Amino acid sequence: MTPADPALRCGGVSHSYPVNGAPVRALTGVSLTVPRGAVTVLAGPSGSGKSTLLRILGCLDRPEEGSVEVEGVETTTLSTRRRRALRRARIGYVFQDPADNLLGYLTVAEHLALGARLRGAGGDPAALLEALGLGARAGHRPAQLSGGEQQRVALAFAAAGDPPVLLADEPSAQLDRAATGLVVGALRELAARGHAVLVTTHDPEVLAVADEVIELVDGVRRDAA
């Protein structure tokens, strides 16, 4: 892979869920690419398929149809074990609720050390913590942090070990305006460090810093509908 190649791409992704015994289509033929060094946003109203697509791109779920490539590797045909290994090494994933991203018994620095170790990387997490404004929180546990700090720690944890792809599902949904500004700054910083950042949101403050906005409406790309 060269720097010009997208870290993440999908083609013709479709997916449905059973509701009361009948399939309900969540995504229909969605294609996109996510470049390195940029913040790409998946926008759209609730129920538009944003989180479903993010889970598929993050190798948490498989699509019914379509292809998903991470760093040139087609993931939909991999075994469960190989998908898990690829996800651990190459994808950082941030869930909407900060509490779902962190382990209560680990300090901030220990989270980053764990993330790097899981990806087979070493190094001192201090530079990443400083870049995200968390240097003074290295010895704190999640319960000692504000919601905005927890979400920035979650982003740092996801970025530890430098996976090429960072996915974040509504990272500002539970935050006030001040905390949102800090998380937005963290997203831009992580993109500047070379990560391919893909975020689901309908928050105007997050949308304002996007390099590209891809809108989903009823599971379909708006510009492809």
Q: For the chain, percent helix, then strand, then coil, each to nearest 5?
A: 35, 25, 35
Among residues of the chain, what percentage have pLDDT more than 70?
96
Averaged confidence pLDDT in the chain: 89
Q: What is the pLDDT of residue 165?
A: 95
Q: In terms of DSSP bridges, do strands 38-43 and 73-74 run parallel, antiparallel, or are they unpaired?
A: unpaired
Q: What is the pLDDT of residue 123?
A: 56
Specify the amino acid at residue 33: T
Region 75-97 average pLDDT: 93
Q: What is the pLDDT of residue 225?
A: 47
> Which residue reads 């997490």 in tokens?
125
Q: Strand 73-74: give its sheet, edge to edge.
A: 22-34, 8-19, 65-70, 73-74
Q: In terms of DSSP bridges, do strands 165-169 and 196-200 run parallel, antiparallel, or are they unpaired?
A: parallel
Distance between CA atoms of 59 and 111, rounded to whole angstroms? 22
Overall domain count for the chain? 1
Lookup: tokens for 75 = 């993931």
Residue 2 lies in a domain: no
Residue 202 lies in a domain: yes
Residue 57 lies in a domain: yes
Q: Residue 162 — very low, low, confident or very high, per pLDDT cuts 50/70/90? A: confident
Residue 3 lies in a domain: no
Q: What is the pLDDT of residue 120?
A: 79
Query: Which tops the pLDDT comparison, 123 or 36?
Result: 36
Q: Residue 100 — very low, low, confident or very high, per pLDDT cuts 50/70/90? A: confident
Residue 1 lies in a domain: no
Residue 148 lies in a domain: yes
* Exposure b/e, 133-162, CB count within 10 A at least 16 = b: ebeebbebbbeebebbbbbbbbbbbbbbbb
Please determine, for residue 2, whether its predicted confidence score (pLDDT) is greater than 90: no
Q: CB burial class (10 A; 0-12, 13-18, 19+) of residue 8?
A: buried
Q: Residue 148 — very low, low, confident or very high, per pLDDT cuts 50/70/90? A: confident
**126 touches 135 (CB < 8 A):** yes
The sign of the CA dihedral 139, 142, 144, 147 is positive
Task: Give the domain extent around 130.
Answer: 8-222
Region 153-162 average pLDDT: 89
Please determine, for residue 117, whether its predicted confidence score (pLDDT) is greater than 90: no
We report the CATH number of the domain holding residue 72 as 3.40.50.300
Lookup: tokens for 47 = 């129920």
Largest CA distance in the chain: 52
Region 142-150 average pLDDT: 90
Residue 147 lies in a domain: yes
Backbone angles phi, psi at 41, to 5 degrees: -115, 135
**CA distances (Å), origin 58, targets 16, 23, 131, 208:** 17, 23, 25, 24
Residue 31 lies in a domain: yes
Q: What is the pLDDT of residue 122?
A: 60
Please determine, for residue 82, whether its predicted confidence score (pLDDT) is greater than 60: yes
Specify the amino acid at residue 162: D
